[in-house]
Amino acid sequence: MSIATPLQRVFDRHNLYIKRDDLYPISGGGNKGRKSHYILENCVEKKCNAVVTCGGIQSNHTRATAIRCRELGIACTIVIHSDEVQESQGNLKLLKMLNVRVVYCEMTNVARTMDFEMERFSSLGFSPFYIWGGGHCYEGTLAYFDAVKELKQQTNMKFDAVFVASGTGATQAGLHCGFKHYFPDTQVFGISVAREKHRGEEEIKKSVREFIDVNKFNSDYINDINFDDSFNCGGYENVTNELEELINKVATQTGIILDPTYTGKAWLGMEKTLKTQQLNKNTNILFWHTGGLLNLMARK
Ligand SMILES: *Cc1c(COP(=O)(O)O)cnc(C)c1O
């Protein structure tokens, strides 16, 4: 159903591999490309012809959704919870080029604004489809469950640990269930890009529970959820000098480009976690690269 991304060995790093979802085939790449593929398929199956979703100014989810809608000829409204900005860079630049309807509102008004936009589409004769921010839904989880199946088809290797940037948690929930299913000895480590531990873990658990209920998987899948909030650098879109230096170092040493909002934090969490754990040199590590190039380019 989706398209396989490369599995790549990192130059000069013993037993470190990268799943290149930053190269997922959609302009700008990333995990929101993979999720939106599944979500919009569901929209089409439900015979809807308009989409309403939301996100921040530099949301990869809104960019991926807007691109899919244009590919499919589906109308699209993006609700952005921020003040309107004059200059446009990164994801916002693409939203403007795609010329979808963009509505700005206050954070506290997102639900009401999205409801209003749903009704607006209905009153215009459309059949609208609602997508939660970040593409947080069953299909998003499923996309990442299937991504592990894709990995299984690419390699016989046993990974001991997987590191991934975790935001709304759907990507981690899908990977968690996928690894439980296809590589039961692998541990998935979600590195929080924003949320504190308790909130983040609860959201992932909700998604995992929904997924195992629908698919009648073992209820043990709910165990061993690792969500670490020690590397979020003070919150969403916050950056530290350490993080910036790490991103530059990784680019120089490996050619892998990380970003300051998501994948840089995940790599930071990976390096620090591996340092504190007793691992033998045959430990195979997988870094699941979720994208973020446009977030990098949108910053000074
Ligand atoms: C959204 C996003 C994430 C987090 O994905 P979730 O499914 O929301 O946890 C990670 N990396 C990038 C680049 C993203 O855009």
Q: Is 249 found in the same domain as 166?
A: yes
Q: Is 165 found in the same domain as 61?
A: no
Q: Closest ligand 1 atom to the C-alpha of 259? A: 13
Last residue of a domain, one of 85, 103, 135: 135
* 201: its two tokens: 């873990």
pLDDT tens readout for residues 12-60: 777 999 999 999 999 999 999 999 999 999 999 999 999 999 999 999 9
Residue 141 located in a structural domain: yes
In angstroms, the Cα distances linking 13 to 18, 106, 255, 271 are: 11, 45, 12, 12
Q: Supply the DSSP string of 156-193, one letter for each residue.
A: ----SEEEEEESSSHHHHHHHHHHHHH-TTPEEEEEES
In the reported structure, the alpha carbon of residue 230 is separated from the centroid of ligand 1 by a whole-number distance in angstroms of 17
Q: Is 68 found in the same domain as 23?
A: no
Which residue out of 168, 202, 205 has the highest number of ligand 1 atoms within 8 Å of its CB and is therefore the one to mutate? 168
Query: At how many degrees (to 10) do helices 197-215 and 138-154 cross?
Result: 80
Contact by Cβ (8 Å): 204, 176? yes
Q: Is 293 found in the same domain as 199?
A: yes
Contact by Cβ (8 Å): 295, 31? no
In the sheet with 101-105, reading across from the earlier edge strand, the strands are: 101-105, 75-81, 50-55, 128-130
Is pLDDT above 90 for 61? yes
**What does the alpha-carbon distance between residue 183 and residue 111 come to, in Å, rounded to a whole number?**
38
Q: Is 104 found in the same domain as 196?
A: no
Q: Which domain holds residue 25?
A: 7-31+137-297
**What does the alpha-carbon distance between residue 141 and residue 192 come to, in Å, rounded to a whole number?**
17
Q: Is 152 found in the same domain as 127?
A: no
Q: Residue 12's pLDDT is what?
A: 74
Which residue out of 21, 22, 31 has the highest number of ligand 1 atoms within 8 Å of its CB and is therefore the one to mutate? 31
* 81: its two tokens: 């919870």
Q: Is 156 found in the same domain as 277?
A: yes
In the reported structure, the alpha carbon of residue 198 is separated from the centroid of ligand 1 by a whole-number distance in angstroms of 18
Q: Is 216 found in the same domain as 157?
A: yes
pLDDT tens readout for residues 189-203: 999 999 999 999 999
Is pLDDT above 80 for 279? no
> Sign (positive/negative) of CA torsion 119, 120, 125, 131?
negative
Last residue of a domain, one of 135, 168, 194: 135
Q: Is 69 found in the same domain as 208?
A: no
Give, using CA atoms, the residue closest to atom 15 of ligand 1.
60
The per-residue pLDDT of the chain, averaged, comes to: 95
Tell me the CATH number at 144.
Answer: 3.40.50.1100
pLDDT tens readout for residues 120-156: 999 999 999 999 998 889 999 999 999 999 999 999 9
Q: Residue 86's pLDDT is what?
A: 85
Residue 2 located in a structural domain: no
Counting the structural domains of the chain, the total is: 2
Q: Is 230 found in the same domain as 95?
A: no
Q: Residue 71's pLDDT is what?
A: 97
**Placement of tokens 């299909």 in the chain:** 139
C-alpha dihedral (158, 192, 202, 183), degrees to nearest 10: -10
**Placement of tokens 């999720």 in the chain:** 35
Which residue out of 163, 262, 263, 293 has the highest number of ligand 1 atoms within 8 Å of its CB and is therefore the one to mutate? 262
Q: Closest ligand 1 atom to the C-alpha of 59? A: 15
Q: Determine whether 59 is an active site residue.
A: yes
Strand partners, 76: 51
Q: Residue 281's pLDDT is what?
A: 65
**Quick one: how far is CA 264 from the chain centroid?**
13
- When pLDDT is averaged across residues 173-200 and rounded to a whole number, the result is 97
Q: Is 152 found in the same domain as 12?
A: yes
Q: Which of 2, 27, 36, 59 is catalytic?
A: 59
In the reported structure, the alpha carbon of residue 109 is separated from the centroid of ligand 1 by a whole-number distance in angstroms of 23
pLDDT tens readout for residues 77-119: 999 999 998 888 999 999 999 999 999 999 999 999 999 999 9
Last residue of a domain, one of 90, 113, 135: 135
Q: Which long-range contacts (CB under 8 A, 24 or more apart) does 100-105 make?
A: 100/66, 100/69, 100/70, 100/76, 101/75, 101/76, 101/77, 102/77, 102/78, 103/77, 103/78, 103/79, 104/79, 104/80, 105/79, 105/80, 105/81
